[in-house]
Every structure is written in structure tokens, then in C-alpha cells.
Amino acid sequence: MDVRRESEATPTKNRTGVERKSERELVVTRTVNAPARLVFEAWTKAELFRRWWVPKSYGLTLLSCEMDVRVGGQYRLVFRHEDSTMEFFGTYLEVTPHSRLVWTNEEGDNGKTVTTVTFDENAGKTLLVVHDRYPSKEALDSGSTGAMPEALDQLDELLASLGSSSVTK
């Protein structure tokens, strides 16, 4: 099927789309070349999740990753960036195997962000739709809650450099 060597990324890079649906909602889409069953595992098993959630190029170290993936279960991610640590935590609201995950981000000061991820399989590929609903438009604009780390300002430089060096090991 794929004759490339292991060290290489998937041959055809899938595109990541982002749309601001409203002043409180952001939607990210991406197709993954694998059945929903596998993709869902990568989102719900801590040992797999921790390998991709924090891109290596961002200079963050994931110190711990605990995920109790069931309705009412909690998750907690602890990162280190330079000398500081930050925590992200919340509760799973919906867990439908291979098709839907809903959780809250509760670390922000301005209320909860709710993230809904749907896994839609078609011909062996899975369309991922990640929908973030922020508690207010201010929370979204400042990126202080949810999928964006709180220490976003520190990440700015790293992000800027990401574009110029797209191939970091």
C-alpha cells in the first residue's frame, strides 16, 4: 500500500480547515487516512493522545496526561514550557465510541469552553470536525481558554518560526 519508509510522513498531506462560525465558535476540519475506530482510539487513549496533541515544534513538554474517557470522567494535562507549568482540565460530557466526543475546558477564568469532536468515516477515511464553543467572544479572541494554551503569548514566537521551518524532524 505505502512503500515509503517509516520515518516519512503520510505521502499526501491532508488539509486543515479553520472557520470562525460565529463570534463564539471555531470549527477545525481535517481528514485522516484511517477508519474512525483507529482515529477515535488516538483521541481517547492517553498514551496515544499525548503523542500528538502537543506538536513537538511548540517547545512544550507534556509532563502528565490523565484521561478518564467516560461521561462525567475527567482529564488533566500538565505541560512545562521553559520555567513554568500549565494545566488543562475538564470533564467528558459525551462519549460515543468511534463517532463523537464532547468535553469541557474548565481551566479558564471566564467560564467553560465546550469542545465537540465528530468522527465521520467514509471509504476508510475519517473526517474530523472539532467544534469549540467559547463562553464569550472575548474568551475566543484572547485565546485564554480551550484548545489554545493559556501561555499563548509565549508561544507566539515559536508559532511564527513554525511557518518558516515546516520540516522539523
Partner 1 sequence: MAQYSQTHFDASFGALSDATRRGVLEQLGRADASITALAERFHMTLTGMKKHVGVLEQAGLVSTEKVGRVRTCKLGLRGLEEEAAWIERYRQLWAARFDELDIVVEEFKRKEKANGRKKRK
Nearest distance, CB of residue 70 and partner 1, angstroms = 22
- State the CB neighbour count (10 A cutoff) for residue 28: 16
CA 145 from centre of chain: 13
Query: How far, in Å, CA of 152 to CA of 148, rounded?
Result: 7
SS3 label, residue 115: strand
Of 23-31, 63-71, 79-87, 115-123, the segment contacting partner 1 by CB under 8 A is: 23-31
Stretch that binds partner 1, among 73-81, 86-94, 101-109, 138-146 (CB under 8 A): 138-146
Stretch that binds partner 1, among 67-75, 91-99, 114-122, 156-164 (CB under 8 A): 156-164
Instruction: Tell me: does residue 58 bind partner 1 (CB under 8 A).
Output: yes
For 156, phi then psi, to 5°, come to -50, -50
Question: What is the rounded distance in angstroms from the CA atom of residue 112 to the CA atom of residue 44?
Answer: 20
Measured from the CB atom, is 41 or 106 closer to partner 1?
A: 41
Distance CA 102, CA 22 (A): 19
Q: Could you tell me the smallest distance in angstroms from the CB atom of residue 120 to partner 1?
A: 15
> Measured in Å, how far apart are the chain's first and last C-alpha atoms?
24
Instruction: Answer yes or no whether residue 38 interacts with partner 1 by CB under 8 A.
Output: yes
d(CA 126, CA 84): 36
Among the listed residues 42, 93, 95, 151, the single contact to partner 1 using CB under 8 A = 42
Residues that bind partner 1 (CB under 8 A): 2, 6, 9-10, 13-14, 16-18, 20, 22-23, 26, 28, 30, 32-34, 38-39, 41-42, 48, 51-58, 128, 130, 137-138, 141-143, 147-148, 152-153, 159, 162-163
